[in-house]
Amino acid sequence: MSTTLGASLNSVWNRYADTAPTDASVELDVGVVRWSVPKASADQLKEGIASRDGQDGTPVRTMASFQRETSAVVAKAMHRKITARFTKKIKDDVSTEVFILENLPRKN
């Protein structure tokens, strides 16, 4: 599951920057998905978004639209809504995007 989800997230990344990070990782936990990316790759993503202004006929890309699309990919793959999303502080030159999934109702 994490390999498929990682490939889907990289596909979104490719629409916003020239190359997706090869050393990104996806970690699945109960109710949480963590996507870790090297800080250098995260910086390249920001530069890629800033350089695409939509004048060549492509849609204008923003960090907000990137976050919406990646959240949608995680929600679709996990078959659950995203209730929260945040970026953990960069530690050891790794940026981690955290997606909190909705709680599933318990059957009595």
| Cα(41)–Cα(57) distance, integer angstroms | 25
Inside any domain, residue 107: no
The domain in which residue 74 lies consists of 2-101
* Contact assessment for residue 68 and residue 75, using Cβ atoms and an 8 Å cutoff: no
Tell me: pLDDT of 108 over 70. no
d(CA 65, CA 8): 16
- Report yes or no on whether pTM surpasses 0.75: yes
In a domain, 72, yes or no: yes
State the pLDDT at residue 21.
Answer: 85
Q: Is 31 left (phi over 0), alpha (psi -120 to 50) or beta?
A: left
What does the alpha-carbon distance between residue 53 and residue 58 come to, in Å, rounded to a whole number?
8
Task: Count the domains in the chain.
Answer: 1
The answer as to whether 87 is a domain residue is yes
- Segment 25-46 shows an average pLDDT of 92
Tell me, yes or no, whether 106 lies in a domain: no
Give the tokens for residue 93: 């030159």
36-66 pLDDT, tens digit per residue, is 999 888 888 888 888 776 666 667 788 999 9
